[in-house]
Amino acid sequence: MSAATSARVRPARVGRPNKDSREKDAREAILDVAEERFSRHGFHGVTVREVANAAHVNTALIHYYFGSKKELFDAVFMRRAEIINAERMAAMDAYAAAHGDGVTVEGAIEAFLAPVLTRLANGGPGWRNYFALVGLVNSTTAWGGEVMTRYFDPVIHRLIDLIACALPEASKEDLYWSYNFLSGSLTLSLAETGRIDRLSEGLCHSDDVEALRPRMIAYAAAGFRRVCEGK
Amino acid sequence: MSAATSARVRPARVGRPNKDSREKDAREAILDVAEERFSRHGFHGVTVREVANAAHVNTALIHYYFGSKKELFDAVFMRRAEIINAERMAAMDAYAAAHGDGVTVEGAIEAFLAPVLTRLANGGPGWRNYFALVGLVNSTTAWGGEVMTRYFDPVIHRLIDLIACALPEASKEDLYWSYNFLSGSLTLSLAETGRIDRLSEGLCHSDDVEALRPRMIAYAAAGFRRVCEGK
DNA sequence: GTCTATAAGATGATAGAC
DNA sequence: GTCTATCATCTTATAGAC
């Protein structure tokens, strides 16, 4: 009887139909909200309460799932890092396999950027928020350098190795400095601060990935060549 | 009489000799400490108490001088913005006056960067902290774009106008996007996150301005040319 | 799993003495 | 100007009911 009653409360699917999905929903909802807030205000600009309210759960649930606020932040940062870096690694491997000895600076950079720009354009607000967070973390002196190193170094070394094939004369120093310039350009673009919108008085838009993509590749490739070839 | 008295109050060094200098010292000490802390942890990562303790004053004194925490932050940000932007404007004016119709992309960018890189190299820790703060603010989505616009737009428009002289065929869009890439490269370099040190395993150093300067100018100029000339 | 209730301490800001 | 003392609020985190 009580079973029949409780079955009538949530009928659509019988048994324990949405138990798992509800669990996942709560966890994911917390991550989504935290991602959005952290990307705009940084780690210290967000409170656990604020995340809990926006995700329609209690603060205790956040600690139940993630332990501490810091661990929540790490979970946010890691969730998409693993996905995007696997995609970038695969894109560069595929490019290298297809071109072998004929790799170009432009081709290597395009393979490195393509998964990011695609997710930025078509991945929805979650991915946009995530990339804004990466941009903010990358510029944070206190712990940004360490966090970025932990999650992003392997994919960057793959890019540098690829470009070194295209520019065999290049010194290690020139390659690292050039990458640092590319990294700055990329993460500022990902941060989507609305800076270029205001500066250009509405002519350009931070979120216009189709305008960004070809210019970013051209700019970075020309920069790499000039610095590394010295011409 | 009271005039004579008050005249004698701050003569060479008698009377209350260090009254003025002590006043100024306290205010400047607060600004210096706040600058260092804000640049590393962001606005929300710093407490008024923390600044007060490190500056060896009480929290009440900070509110006495600056009003609120937000106004303290604004005072930190503005203090050096006015100095550095006047220097950059003067450097670009001088370059334009000296070269007239013969301005180059490299020359314009060098004039734009020179005062910043000089202060970064020789201005002491205060200037280094300040530039790290600018780098962090520039990547902050919530209020970074607005703050940067308020303080830095005029000097940037001067640079873009100069480069437009060197590249008369360039479209406005290409110029703005290229500047955005330059801005990202610059502010990440200014942030001195130690990122490149770790990435290069000690080969390159975030604070090596002599290594940074020629590479940054070459990279940015080549990028501008490629994007704006389409070749 | 999800909640209520609450501990234990930090925070921005002010009043008022000197 | 600079301090001490303090307020009202907010913070992260936990205990324990359901």
d(CA B212, CA A156): 20
Residue A122 within a domain: yes
Residue with CA nearest C3 C1'? A58
Do B193 and A227 count as a contact with CB atoms less than 8 A apart?
A: no
Nucleotide nearest to A70 (CA to C1'): D12
Residue A209 within a domain: yes
Return the DSSP state at B101.
Answer: G
Among A174, A179, A195, the residue to mutate for chain B (most B Cβ within 10 A)? A195
Which domain CATH number covers B97? 1.10.357.10
| Contacting residues of A for B182, CB less than 8 Å apart | 185
Q: How many Cβ atoms are within 10 Å of A157's Cβ, its own excluded?
A: 12
d(CA A192, CA B220): 21
In chain B, which residue's Cα lies nearest the Cα of A175?
B200
Do A195 and B145 count as a contact with CB atoms less than 8 A apart?
A: yes
Which residue's entry shows tokens 């010194």? A171
Q: How many Cβ atoms are within 10 Å of A135's Cβ, its own excluded?
A: 25
The alpha-carbon gap from A129 to the nearest alpha carbon of chain B, in Å, equals 10
The total domain count for chain B is: 1
The alpha-carbon gap from A100 to the nearest alpha carbon of chain B, in Å, equals 25
- Does B173 or A14 have the greater pLDDT score? B173
Do B173 and A203 count as a contact with CB atoms less than 8 A apart?
A: yes
Do B220 and A215 count as a contact with CB atoms less than 8 A apart?
A: no
Among A141, A153, A167, the residue to mutate for chain B (most B Cβ within 10 A)? A141
Do B41 and A142 count as a contact with CB atoms less than 8 A apart?
A: yes
**The model's pTM:** 0.91
pLDDT of residue A17: 45
Q: How many Cβ atoms are within 10 Å of B146's Cβ, its own excluded?
A: 14
Which residue's entry shows tokens 């993630």? A66
Residues near B63 by beta carbon (within 8 Å), at least 6 away in sequence: B48
pLDDT of residue A230: 82
Residue A103 within a domain: yes
Q: Which residues touch strand C (CB under 7 A)?
A: A 22-23, 26-27, 56-61, 64; B 46-50, 59-60, 63, 67-70
pLDDT of residue B3: 42
Contacts 24+ apart (CB under 8 A), B95-101: B95/B162, B96/B162, B96/B165, B101/B165
Report chain B's mean pLDDT, rounded to a whole number.
Answer: 92
Which tokens go with B216? 């940054």
- Does B49 or A5 have the greater pLDDT score? B49
Residues near B178 by beta carbon (within 8 Å), at least 6 away in sequence: A215, A219, B223, B224, B227, B228
Which tokens go with B18? 């260090």
Residue A3 within a domain: no
In chain B, which residue's Cα lies nearest the Cα of A188?
B184
* pLDDT under 50: residue ranges of chain A: 1-19
Residue B42 within a domain: no
pLDDT(B10) > 90: no
Residue A215 within a domain: yes
Q: Would you say the C-beta of B57 is within 7 Å of strand D?
A: yes
Distance of CA A53 to the CA centre of its chain: 25
Chain D bases under 7 Å from protein CB? 1-5, 10-16
pLDDT(B43) > 50: yes
Cβ distance A205 to A196 under 8 Å? yes
pLDDT band of B30, cuts 50, 70, 90 = very high
Do A156 and B199 count as a contact with CB atoms less than 8 A apart?
A: yes
Return the DSSP state at A56.
Answer: T
The alpha-carbon gap from B6 to the nearest alpha carbon of chain A, in Å, equals 48
Which tokens go with B35? 């600058």
Do B195 and A218 count as a contact with CB atoms less than 8 A apart?
A: no
Q: Among B84, B69, B81, which Cα is nearest to B38's?
A: B69
CA dihedral B80, B81, B83, B89 (to 10 degrees): 160
Which residue's entry shows tokens 């060197």? B166
Which tokens go with A173? 């120093």
Residues near B172 by beta carbon (within 8 Å), at least 6 away in sequence: A200, A203
DSSP H helices in chain A: 2-9, 19-41, 48-54, 59-66, 69-99, 105-122, 124-138, 144-166, 172-191, 195-199, 209-229
Cβ distance A67 to A55 under 8 Å? no
| Contacting residues of B for A153, CB less than 8 Å apart | 198-199
In tens, the pLDDT along B126-141 reads 999 999 999 999 999 9
CA distances from A151 to A170, A185, B180, B187, B199 (A): 26, 19, 25, 21, 12
Q: Among A70, A79, A187, A80, which Cα is nearest to A136's?
A: A187
Do A196 and B215 count as a contact with CB atoms less than 8 A apart?
A: no
Q: Look up the domain containing A178 and give its range.
A: 79-229
Distance B23 CA to D8 C1' (A): 31
Chains A & B: contacts with CB separation below 8 Å = 222
pLDDT(B2) > 80: no
Among partner residues B148, B172, B193, which is closest to A144 by beta-carbon distance?
B193
In chain A, which residue's Cα lies nearest the Cα of B175?
A200
Residue B199 within a domain: yes
Nucleotide nearest to B47 (CA to C1'): C11
Do B200 and A41 count as a contact with CB atoms less than 8 A apart?
A: no
- How crowded is the C-beta side of B36, counted as CA atoms within 13 Å? 13
Which tokens go with A55? 């995700």
The alpha-carbon gap from B128 to the nearest alpha carbon of chain A, in Å, equals 12
pLDDT of residue B138: 96
pLDDT of residue B231: 66
Distance B204 CA to D5 C1' (A): 51
Which tokens go with B16? 């209350």
Region B138-154: mean pLDDT is: 94
